[in-house]
Each structure stands twice: as structure tokens, then as C-alpha cells.
Chain A
Amino acid sequence: MPAARPTFKSISIAIVGSGGAGAITAGSIILEAAGKAGWYGIMNRSVGPQIRGGEAAALVRLANQPVNCMSESYDLLVAIDWNNAERFAAEMPLADDGLIICDPERGPVPDIMTETGVEIVEIGLKSIAENITGGRENMVALGLAAGFVGLPFDTIITVITSKLSAKGEEAVAAGRQCVEVGLQQAQTYTRQFNDSQTLAVDSGRWLITGNEAVALGAVRGGVRFAAAYPITPATEVLEWLAPALTKIGGALVQAEDELSSINMTIGASYGGRASITATSGPGLALMVESIGLAAASEVPLVVVDVMRGGPSTGIPTKSEQSDLNIAIYGCHGDAPHIVVAPLSVADCLFTGQWAIHLAEAMQVPTIVLSDQSLGQARVLIDKPANVAFLAKRKTYEPQEGETYNRYALTADGISPMAIPGTPGGQYTADGLTHTIKGTPSSKNSDHQNQHDKRHNKIANFDYGNHWADIEGDKDCDTVILTWGSITGAAREAIARLANEGIKVRLVAMRLLSPFLKDKFLTSLAGAARILIIEQTHSGQFHQYLRAQCDLPGYIKHFHRPGPHIIGPKEICDQIRDWTSS
């Protein structure tokens, strides 16, 4: 862990371009270079509907401490061109002292930008690029943005060299030249973010997306089998696992659809391997019947749902938190299972690993509710600590003279699972209600007992402190209560409010189901005002909490669907509004 952190500072830049301009590539290079220079940062992207050649905005926030959400105002916008840029305007409002750099050859600045009154500087990116053999406008934009923030030249060159080396030496040289010109042009406007306040590279920073992190977390947790059906925005979880699992002696199978991928996962798990699949809302909807099967037959598995705008086909490329209901309630009958949600990109790693641990330990399906704003965000994080969870399935060891009962009623509700190949342990897993042996039954007592067993094993498990992150004064009576990805914005809002002398407690839930009522109410003890925040239209989280218990104090509910992600400033406004009255 680094020593005491300096005051938080961040700077945000956007690079916009279309038709293959390479805006996203430029943004990625900046982020990576910043990481090498010892900074933290996060990058998101906003795109048009085309598969290639569309309008694209690379949204990058750099900071001297870990950041987990985008800023609400941008300090720099570099526009390679203005095609359909109005689409993005709402996502990257400029700060009052912000700067727009654009190319006079690429048409007039859209009114929506000039109306802001920010300074507009015209630099001929196109002509600069044309004057360099193999020059590209996005490389000039990269230089301009890097110069604006004050990124060290050598870190940029290191990244460009490795990224473009596959295209040949000329490409690298051309890129370098473009960057040099851009850097030089930006000197007049530079904010020199790179001052003594940045931290040295001591912890071995990582650059990773939420999708990669959850996959890696699962591997750390012991996963060795995955079944895959691609869907936006979850496909990268599976694409990362494909070669990774092969390398470590595991396997990934591409299925024909989600009905198949969930059942393949169940089969592999029944066979003894920690197993996982990943999907988004529409895929999860297909899977729920079989998730119920896994619950009833007590087969461990993890389903990662990288949530997107819903319902139905919704907005595949944007984020939302509206799969909470289906994750918790989607199965028919009473089929208790685990639902967890990572609180940040770094937490995707932890939660992915924890999910495998929970699934294996309790022999239960576990749904991980990630979302597009985590899954496809690229973030610079401190090297994650190694955590001690390991998949620990209670398995059956043959015992002389003992009859094996797969679904025996044990004290903790977890009964040893015989892995196929274990002599004497043969049983038939079943979705039908069963006796302790596993034989189908319609008796009152069996049905009641097995229900109790499956309920208790989850309710009585020791989740430790991981069920939620609770931060801030126990005495302060204003609480922000949220879950999953919104935590990043909530944390930042709380830090800003603390600077104003307003104290706020944070309760960010990582474990949504089962609902730990006692721990939950304890976390809210003394709360007079609770602000519940979620990214849904109907308020699923709020309704869920109300169904579980009576909430103390006055409740304010701040919610809206995607695609406009709830940010720290809005949260601060909600709190200030409230605490001053």
C-alpha cells in the first residue's frame, strides 16, 4: 500500500472522431502511458451504432488517486471531426475553463459546443498528419491531449512503440512524429497535471477492464470450465477465458445459445469443476429455468451478468442496473441462490473470486451483477492483493459401511457432493424434489426439509465483512445506500462533501441476496436520512429493500435508467439539498 495520499486531483479529456479515425486507440494509449507515469485513470467509450467507421468518443479521466467514475466535466475535448458529435455532447459537458481543440478543415463547431462559451482553439490536425509520412490525425490528437495534461514524452513513446510495432517501423516513427508535433502545439495550453503530487510507480499498477477482472477473479477462485455464448457487453469475459483456461488445463466451449451454455456449465460443475458462464440481460432471461435446476439439484455455478440497458434488446452498449429483479426473483418456485455485485473495476476481481468461493462452498448458483460501465471500462488500479478464498466444495470421501446420502440434512445445510468417479458416491442429481438420497419424492417432509436445507445453507453462511463496504463515521446520521457500480460515484461524492464539512456514511452492498437483515440494519443504525441511489427506471433496489425490512429514518430515492450514468455531482446536490433543510 502506498503512503498517505495527497489531495485528490483529476483531469478529464475526450477525444472524438469517426470513420476509422482511431479515437479509441488514442484514448487507450493515453491511459496506458499515464499508468506508466505513475498516475491512475479510467477510460470509457461512447460509440455510434456502426460496427466499424462509426462515431466514437474516448472518455479519459486521469487522477493522482484511484478513480472509479467519470467526471461530470471535461477539461479538454479534442475533436478530430464533428460527425454526429451532438450524440456525445451530453456525456462530456465541458468545464467552464475547459478547452476545445478542433480542426478548422473539419467544419464548423456545432452550436451545442459553442453555446458553452468555452475557449475554442483551432489546430490543423489533418494538415499536420498529411505533412508527415504515414501520419494519422489520432496520433496528433494523442500528442495534443498528452501535452495538455503534461504526460511525459517517454511513456507515450514506450506505449506507441509496443502498440504499433506490429504495423512496422514506419508506423511507429510516424506515430512518434505526430505525437511530437501535438505535444509541442499543446505547450501553450498545458495544465501540467504531472506535478509533484503524482505518486511514484511503486505498487506495480495494472491496466484492466471489469470484464477481464471478473474473469481473472474467477480463475483465481479456481474456475476451470466455461461455456460461452457471445452477447454485448459480456463477450470479453469469455474471450479472455478462452485462451486462459486452455493454458491452465481448463476448457471453454462455445455453445449454440444460452440455453445450452447454462446447461453445459451445470454439467461441467456436476462433474467436479468450478464452472462459469457470462451473459447479459437477454441471456440471463433464457437461463433462469436452468439456474433453478442448479439450485434444486444443488450444483455450484457462477453466472456473470454484465447488465446493459433493458428491457428486451434495450441498449446493448450502455449501462444500467435493471437486472436486479430477474437476478433475485427470476427462477420459478422458491429457489434461493446468491446474488453479488462488484463495486468497482478492481472489485470485479475480488467479487469474481468470491462468487466462485460462495458457489462452491454452498453448492449453489451465484449470479454476479456487473454492468457495462464496469465491464468495458479500462482502469488503472493498484496491483490487487492476493486473497485467500479458494473454491472449496465439500466432497464425498468414501466411507466403509456408510450409505451416502447426497442431500443429507446437515447442521449447516451443506451436504458433501460426490464427484463422479468416486466409488460408492453414485447419485442422480435432480430438479425433482427428492429424499436425502436424491430419489424423487412428493412427500410433505422431503419437500419441506429440502427447502429448509437450501434456504438455511445460504442464510446461515458466514459472509464476513464482504457483504457490503461500509465507510465513514458511525455517528453521522446521513447515509448513502447503494449497490454495484454506482459505488464509485458515491464514494467520490462523499469525499467532496467531507471537504465541505458534510459527513456522510456509505453503505455499498456487494451481497444482494440473501438479504442479511441484521447486518443491514446495524449498518444503518443511527441513520436519520438515507439516500438510496440506483440506475433503474422503476426503483428495483429500493423496492427490494422495502420488501425485506422497515427502513429507518427519512428515505430519499434517487434513480433513473441508463444511459446517462449517475455521477458524483448529482449525488452531492441531492445530499446538500437535504442536509441544509
Chain B
Amino acid sequence: MSDIKIENAGELLAHAYQMELDAQERYEMLAAQMKAHNNTDLAKLFAKLAVIEGIHAKDILEQMAGMDIPQIDPDDMQWQGQESPEALDLGDMDYLMTPRQALFLALEAEQNAFEFFNHLLNSTTDPEVKRFAAEFAEEEEEHVELVKKELLKYPETGERMKDDMDQPVDQG
């Protein structure tokens, strides 16, 4: 991971907030996709995760009140990858995916988010940025635990992802 140049707490909070917003929006989109393809278990799970991310975003928004937060274009955020670390990759989806499989992806996403703040924590010299980075890193660790707890609801059954016995439908 290359150096993340975040100069002040305001910038950091802007990143943290955008990360949750992106995650929320992504989970909402995936919930809609899975609903359209009748994977209702997964649609429900994604909808739930979207709500949780929305709560995280709101919390950060409250923290930002009264602070001087710079306006950063989402495309200028320093995510290190194509998109914000907490958003699942659209290309990894499958209409037959099980909630358990999706939660493993979510776990990875939360771990990526943790890595982002942890790296900043270790690379920055600004004490205020360090403080907030530590705080958010700890937050993300809690998110990781949340996902692990959710995973317990979907125990390993030794089964692979089910296949679809029906042939694809020609639509044009």
C-alpha cells in the first residue's frame, strides 16, 4: 500500500464518511440485483448490511458536526484501489451466491477498511490524524466482528453453491 496523504482530521473524516456511504449504496444496489434475480435470502442480507452501513455513516456525520470538513470529490479519495475498500466488487457477484459466501466477501471488505485506517495510523505523523485513524481502525475491527457474528447464523453445511438446473432463457 502506498502512502496515503491525508493532512488533517477533516480530510480523514471525509474519507471515513464516504467509505460508509459507498458501502451503503453498494449494498443497496446488490440487494436490488439479487431481488431482481429472486435470490431473496441474499437480497435481505444485503438490505440489512446497507442499513447497518447507513447507521455507521450517520454516526460519522454526527462526529463531523462543527468540524471543518473539506469538500473532496469522491473520485479524488485516496482509496488505493478502484473503489472504496468497504464496497463489494460488482464483478464478484453471482445470482446463486449464498449469504455465507457473501458474508465472506463482506468480511474481506471490512478488513480492507481496517487496513486503510491502520496503514494511515502507522504512516502519518500528524497527531490528530493519528488519533482519528486509531479510532476508525478500531471501529472497523468492530465491523469485522459484526460480520463474523452474522456468519454464525449461516453455518458451514459442506455444500457448494447450488447450481441452476434450468437452461438460460433466450430473451431476444
Contact = CB atoms under 8 A, between A and B. Distances in A.
Contact of B171 (A18, A24, A51, A53): A51
B37 A25 contact: no
A282 to B, nearest CB: 9
Interface string B148-172: 0000000000010011111111111
Interface residues of A, number: 32
A53 B39 contact: yes
B172 A232 contact: yes
B168 A52 contact: yes
Contact of B168 (A22, A51, A134, A138): A51
A23 to B, nearest CB: 7
B169 A81 contact: no
Contacts of A50: 36-37, 169, 171
B123 interface: no
A56 B166 contact: yes
A43 to B, nearest CB: 13
A52 B95 contact: yes
Contacts of B169: 47, 50-52, 54, 56, 317
A19 B39 contact: yes
B51 to A, nearest CB: 20
A19 B170 contact: no
Contacts of B63: none
Contact of A49 (B40, B165, B171): B171
Contacts of B167: 24
Contact of B38 (A22, A51, A55): A55
A355 B36 CA distance: 43
A552 interface: no
A316 interface: yes
Contact of A53 (B38, B170, B172): B38
A317 B171 CA distance: 6
A503 B61 CA distance: 79
Interface string B119-140: 0000000000000000000000
A382 B37 CA distance: 38
A23 B172 contact: no
B165 A18 contact: no
A230 B172 CA distance: 9
B171 A20 contact: no
Of the candidates A50, A53, A313, A317, the one having the most CB atoms from chain B within 10 angstroms of its own CB is A53
B171 A83 contact: no
Interface in A235-294: 235
B38 A54 contact: yes
B38 A316 contact: no
B96 interface: yes
Contact of A18 (B38, B163, B168, B172): B38
A233 interface: yes
A52 B164 contact: yes
A83 B166 contact: no
B162 to A, nearest CB: 7
Contacts of B166: 20-25, 52, 56
Given A25-B165, A53-B95, A53-B96, A19 B40 contact: yes
A316 B169 CA distance: 11
A23 B165 CA distance: 8
B154 to A, nearest CB: 13
Nearest to A26: B165
A20 B164 CA distance: 5
B95 A19 contact: yes
A53 B39 CA distance: 8
A51 B164 CA distance: 12
B46 to A, nearest CB: 14
Contacts of A52: 37, 95, 164, 166, 168-169
Contacts of B164: 20, 22, 52-53
Interface string A330-344: 000000000000000
Contacts of B162: 20, 136
Contacts of B38: 18-21, 53-55, 81, 83-84
A269 B104 CA distance: 59
Contacts of A81: 38, 40
Of the candidates B38, B39, B96, B171, the one having the most CB atoms from chain A within 10 angstroms of its own CB is B38
B40 A235 contact: no
Contacts of A19: 37-40, 95-96
A338 to B, nearest CB: 28
Contacts of B36: 50
B39 A316 contact: no
B170 A54 contact: no
A55 B36 CA distance: 9
B171 to A, nearest CB: 6
Contacts of A20: 38-39, 95-96, 162-166
Contacts of B96: 19-20, 53
A42 B168 CA distance: 21
A134 B165 CA distance: 13
A49 B170 CA distance: 9
A157 interface: no
A231 interface: yes
A316 B172 CA distance: 6
Nearest to A52: B168
Contacts of B40: 19, 81, 83
Interface string B27-41: 000000000111110
Interface in B86-109: 95-96
A56 B165 CA distance: 12
Interface in A97-138: 134, 136, 138
Given A52-B164, A53-B164, A233 B170 contact: yes
Nearest to A29: B165
28 contacts: A19-B38, A19-B95, A19-B96, A20-B164, A20-B165, A22-B165, A22-B166, A24-B167, A25-B165, A47-B169, A50-B37, A51-B170, A52-B95, A52-B164, A52-B169, A54-B169, A55-B38, A83-B40, A136-B165, A138-B165, A167-B163, A231-B172, A232-B171, A316-B170, A316-B172, A317-B169, A317-B170, A317-B171
Interface of A: 18-25, 47, 49-56, 81, 83-84, 134, 136, 138, 167, 230-233, 235, 313, 316-317
Given A20-B166, A25-B165, A83-B40, 19 more contacts: A18-B38, A19-B39, A20-B39, A20-B164, A21-B166, A24-B166, A47-B169, A49-B171, A51-B168, A51-B169, A52-B37, A52-B164, A52-B166, A52-B168, A54-B38, A54-B169, A84-B38, A232-B170, A316-B171
